[in-house]
Each structure stands twice: as C-alpha cells, then as structure tokens.
Structure 1
Amino acid sequence: MKIEIPNWLIIFGGYGQIFTAIIYPYIRHKVFDWYNDVKQLKPLNQEIAKTYGRYIQGLNFSFGLIAILLPNDLKNGTHLALAITGLIGAYWVGKVVTQIAYYPMYQIPQKLIFKSGSYFMNFLFILFSVVFTWLFVYNLLNQ
C-alpha cells in the first residue's frame, strides 16, 4: 500500500521551519537570557556560539524554503530527494532527541506565553521529524 504524502503537509512544515528561524532570536533573548550567558565566554567562544546560532537559524529557514518551493521534488524518489529529506529528517530527529535528553533538566520562565510556546515548539519539532523522516522513507522505498 502506497501512502501519498500531501503537499500541504510538506508546505505547512516549511512554514513552520521558517517560523522557528524567525522566532529563534526572541526565544534566545527573552526565554533563555542567552546573550547575557554568552557574554561570560571568552571573545572567541562568544563568536563561535553566535555563529552556530546563526547556522541553526539559517538551516531552519533554508529547509523551510525548500519545503515550500519544492514539495513535489522532495517526494519524487530521486537520489537528491532521498539525500535532502534524509538530511532534514535527521536534523529534526536529532533536535527532538536532544530536547528530550537534555532540556528537561532546565527551567524555562513560568509565564503562560513561554510555557504554551514551549509545547507549541515541541509539537513543531516532532511534526518536522515525522514529516521529513516519512518523506525519507517514502523516497527510499521509491528508488
């Protein structure tokens, strides 16, 4: 039985990834007080931390654009579709595993907006993991 992945789901995942890229600086600043923590590092380590933050933001945005602009290409069974969906799927599965393994040890501010935002972001991360892993398996089976 072949289950087709709807384009709307891929596109929704794309918009969600762009949303995470846009909201990322706000979360770092308002929820985690990240910038004050980074200031305690040596100057080179500050720049490395900021650079990796930008990489994360850029990847989320880029993955979102790919999903929005090329949903059919992400499920066409080519080697490139397999590679891209594998990369995006592994990225988000890694994020979810990290979230489960390490983040529960830390407290986020208990304001309602941060608490509900935390649940929403976790929902998105799981959604991205499922959609892009599903796409990867779909492409793998259609080689």
Structure 2
Amino acid sequence: MGNVGLEKLIFWSGIGHFALCLGSLLIPKVLQWRLHLGGLKPLLRQIFWTYAAYILVINFFFGVISVLGPDALIDHSFLAKSVTLLIGAYWLTRIVIQFTYFDKTDAPKGVLYTVGEVALVAMFTVFALTYLLAFLYNYQWI
C-alpha cells in the first residue's frame, strides 16, 4: 500500500473515531449507568465517570490527529512511530479485553445489541490494523 492509500486509511479511521465518540455518548443511557452506579460510594462513581471521560477524550484526539495529520503519522519520524504504535496497541488491547475479560452475562440481549457489538469490534479491528500497518510503514518494513 502506498503512502497515499495509507494516509486515506488513517484519515477515514480518524472519522471513525469521531463516529465512535458520538456513539459513546449514548452508552451511559443504553447501559443505564446512572441506575447501576447509583449504589456506589460517591468517590468510586466519580472515578468511574472520570475514566469514561478520559477514554472519550483520548478517542476524540486520536480522531483529531488522524484527520488533521495523516501524513505526519507516516513520515518515518520517532513521533510517527510512537503514536502509531500507541494507537494500534490501544485498539488491539481493547479487542483482547473484549473477548478475555468482559463478563457479558448481564449485557443487553437482542439483535440490535449483537449487531452493535459486532460493528464496534469490527471498527476496533480496523483501527488496530490501520495504525499497526502505519507503524510498520514508518519502519519501512512494508
């Protein structure tokens, strides 16, 4: 894949990050966080919401970096190598957690939720592959 194709893939992954952020705003309502977190002590509830906000902001700025600087993410610099490895590893780790750690016993049931989960895992996979491919490109291994 030439660098123009990889730049486009990174750009569209950035757009995907924005879409993920918009969808993430629905998660607290869909999964009834207020109800389920209501029994926690205030500090634990605040920590949970803070971590959720951090994740949202990180995902948003992965989108900003990817949309505004796809060329900078594949310029073979130390920073390009570091950032593409970080984003690729972040999403690969998220996929591993999805299948090895999450207890989905109480997850919502139904076709809509199943399709949503499949779509999210597909998106995470595209993200992981895109940025890991960019990392390899930065090292001129491909």
Q: What is the deviation of 1:18?
A: 1.2
Matches within 5 A, 1:7-46: 7-30=7-30, 32-46=31-45
Higher alpha-carbon deviation: 97-106 or 125-134? 97-106
Tell me the TM-score normalised to structure 2 length: 0.89
Matches within 5 A, 1:9-88: 9-30=9-30, 32-88=31-87
1:91 matched to 2:104: no
8 Å Cα contact 1:92/1:128 also seen in 2: yes
Measure, in 1, the Cα distance between the counterparts of 2:71 and 2:29: 37
Gaps of 5+ in 2: none
Q: What is the deviation of 1:110?
A: 2.4
Measure, in 1, the Cα distance between the counterparts of 2:44 and 2:107: 24
8 Å Cα contact 1:108/1:115 also seen in 2: no
Measure, in 1, the Cα distance between the counterparts of 2:28 and 2:134: 30
Higher alpha-carbon deviation: 105-114 or 63-72? 105-114
* TM-superposition CA deviations, 1:70-121 (whole Å, max 9, x none): 0111001001101111111111111111011123643432233222111111
Tell me the TM-score normalised to structure 1 length: 0.89
Measure, in 2, the Cα distance between the counterparts of 1:28 and 1:100: 21
Measure, in 2, the Cα distance between the counterparts of 1:124 and 1:4: 22
Q: In the alignment, which residue of structure 2 is the partner of 1:135?
A: 134
**How many residue pairs are counted as aligned between the two chains?**
139
State the one-letter code of the partner of 1:52.
Y
Runs of 4+ in structure 1 displaced over 6 angstroms? none
1:139–1:106 Cα change, 3 Å: farther
Measure, in 2, the Cα distance between the counterparts of 1:78 and 1:25: 34
1:45–1:104 Cα change, 3 Å: closer
Identity %: 30
